[in-house]
Amino acid sequence: MIAIEVENLTKKYKEKVVVNGINLKINQGELFALLGTNGAGKTTTIKMLSTLILPNDGKVKINGLNVIKDRQEIREILNISPQETAIAPNLSVKENLEFMAGVYQISNKEEKINELIKMFKLDEVLNQKAKILSGGWQRKVSIAISLINDPKILFLDEPTLGLDVIARKELWAVIKHLKGKITIILTTHYMEEAEKLSDRVGIMAKGNLLTVGTSNELIAKTGAENFEDAFVKIATGGEL
Amino acid sequence: MRIINFAKRNFKEIARDPLSLIFAIILPLFLLFVFQQFNIPNESYKLENFTPGMVVFGFSFITLFTAMLISKDRTTSLLIRLGVSPMKSREYILGYMLSIIPIILIQNTLFFLLAIGLGLRFSINIFFAILVSIVIAVLFISIGIIIGSVATEKASSGISSIIVQIVCFTSGMYFPKEMLGKGFGTICEYLPFESCLTILKGVMHNRFQNIQLRNVIVFVIYAVVVFVISVIIFNRKMTSDNK
């Protein structure tokens, strides 16, 4: 079943085309990585798919719902973990979870919070203020918060940016655990991350979605030695 | 329910910042106490006039905290997270406003308790003044929403400090507006802060005849216009920040 269906999605700021008529289908339970150089249009695409901004043209359907007409219903079934950790700094980890549970009016609030505490092993930091946590913990909390409403679709924008190798591997384990249960759209600059975690990869450059496929398909298609080289070939049009 | 949930979070964010307590509560209490230790030959410094003056002064810090909170929510991308949630625009604005009311009540209660301790005669009108001050605070919170929506966290504190100074100079809390000449007096009359103080004093002293129609009109126009502008700007920034 298709979770996200995008047709001719376009975003312009004045005369500048930031996303240029992209077409894409993402299956339910799939982990789709959106890659691209800086300014490729990944974040703008994610913002349109997650209802934050409106497209200038094109159609987006999330679980069959129209992103413009059914915006409010869509917001009940998706969530996002933004690039910045986006947590309330003076609230403890538990209070952050409770706050977001209140935002989504979760009926079985305690049960859901306990489930997330267990899943992310948050016990040791539960009563600590979010602002004093390490970068790795903040990211974990950020992703935990984004699961509070049991989203069917989850957007992870650079989830491991700036983290050390151990914190990154820990988060990969969490993302792998979610794989298959939730449709995940991940943006990252780390090729290894995209290759290891995703089912399929889409590569964007200058607002265009250049190609979509599995990492192995893209390596084979470009004749590159590895995925990073394949990405560079596609993103630069073979110039590098 | 979402409004209360958001307001609770905002209240905790503000109340857990020690600077908030120092500026919004301890500084005005300190000024109220210190100025009463000198026999300053100026009506403005009499306890019954200076106490409501400190209430309005304390409100200027409410502008500061509101601005800082919103600008911080923008920089930390918390508003992006909330932007994809089912929360509606009115729930944000009311959530920010409601969170300030307990702070106002704490501020006012402490100011009036200290003033009574220093010799202010207790009357039921003090309660009415506290109630009216909540309405007056809407103006200060709205100014804070505008600043927090357009400025960065650092710039918010700077711009809000200018508001604190404008309140000090134009509200009449430290000296009567006539003292700096007719031109300055006219400016004070067309800015809302002198009207805020006059209304508050009138209610507190049960001398409604001291409140001119001009004071009510100036305050109401500013409060409504600034509130509407704050809603528009906040909503626009919620969208444009996400571009």
Taking an 8 Å cut-off on Cβ atoms, the answer to whether A146 and B81 are in contact is yes
Its ipTM equals 0.85
The pLDDT of residue B242 is above 60: no
| Contact (CB, 8 A) for A50 and B50 | no
Determine the distance in angstroms separating the CA of A145 from the nearest CA of chain B, rounded to an integer. Answer: 10
- Strand A153-157 and strand A16-27: the pairing is unpaired
Chain B residues inside the 8 Å CB shell of A70: none
B→A contacts (Cβ < 8 Å), by residue, are 1-2, 5-6, 8-9, 12-13, 16-17, 72, 75-78, 80-87, 239, 242-243
Domains of chain A in start order, with CATH, are 2-83+152-235 (3.40.50.300)
Q: Report pLDDT for A168.
A: 87
B69 vs chain A: nearest CA distance in angstroms?
10
So what's the pLDDT on residue A104? 94
Read off the pLDDT of residues B162-214 as tens digits, 9 standing for 90 and up.
999 999 989 888 888 777 788 888 998 999 999 999 999 999 999 998 899 99
Integer Cα distance of A3 and A78 in angstroms: 11
Q: Do B76 and A95 touch (CB under 8 A)?
A: no
Q: Flag if B13 and A50 touch (Cβ within 8 Å).
A: no
How far B162 CA lies from chain A's nearest CA (Å)?
26
pLDDT of residue B43: 82
Quote the CA–CA distance of B175 and A154 in Å, as a whole number. Answer: 58
Residue among B12, B75, B239 minimizing CB distance to A53: B239
DSSP, residue by residue, B14-30: HHT-HHHHIIIIIHHHH
Are A86 and B76 within 8 A, CB to CB?
A: yes
Percent of chain A with pLDDT strictly greater than 70: 99
How far apart (Å, rounded) are the C-alpha atoms in residues A36 and A231? 8
pLDDT tens-place string over residues A81-119: 988 888 999 999 999 999 999 999 999 999 999 999 998
Mean pLDDT of chain B: 90
Mean pLDDT (chain A, rounded): 91
Q: What is the pLDDT of residue B183?
A: 86
Cβ atoms of A234 and A203 closer than 8 Å: yes
Lowest-confidence pick of A21-35, A164-178, B52-66, B214-228: A164-178
Chain A partners within 8 Å of B16 (Cβ): 90, 129
The pLDDT assigned to B17 comes to 84
The alpha-helical segments, DSSP class H, found in B171-212 are: 182-190, 192-204
Size of interface A-B (CB pairs under 8 A): 85
Mean pLDDT for the stretch of residues A11-34: 93
Provide the percentage of residues in chain B whose pLDDT is more than 70: 98
A3 vs B23: which has the higher pLDDT: A3
Task: Identify the pLDDT of residue A240.
Answer: 63
Span A53-68, mean pLDDT? 91
Of the pLDDT bands very low, low, confident and very high (cuts 50, 70, 90), residue A230 is: very high
Question: What pLDDT shows up at residue A35?
Answer: 93
* Residue B241 pLDDT > 70: no
**Residues in chain B within 8 Å Cβ distance of A105:** 1-2, 86
Judge whether residue A3 has pLDDT over 70.
Answer: yes
The distance of A28 to chain B (nearest Cα, Å) reads 20
Query: Is residue B240's pLDDT more than 70?
Result: no
Q: Which amino acid is at B45?
A: Y
- b/e per residue A129-161 (b: at least 16 CB within 10 A): bbeebeebbbbbbbbbbbbbbebbbbbbbbbbe
Please judge whether B78 and A102 are an interchain contact, meaning their C-beta atoms are less than 8 angstroms apart.
no
Smallest Cα distance from B89 to chain A, Å: 12
Q: Is A199 exposed, middle or buried (0-12, 13-18, 19+ CB in 10 A)?
A: middle
Q: Tens digit of pLDDT for each residue in A109-165?
A: 999 999 999 988 899 999 999 999 988 889 889 999 999 999 999 999 888 887 888
* CB atoms A103 and B12 under 8 Å: no
B5, B8, B84: residue with CB nearest A80: B84
Quick check: A95 and B17 CB within 8 A? no
CA distance B64 to chain A (A): 17
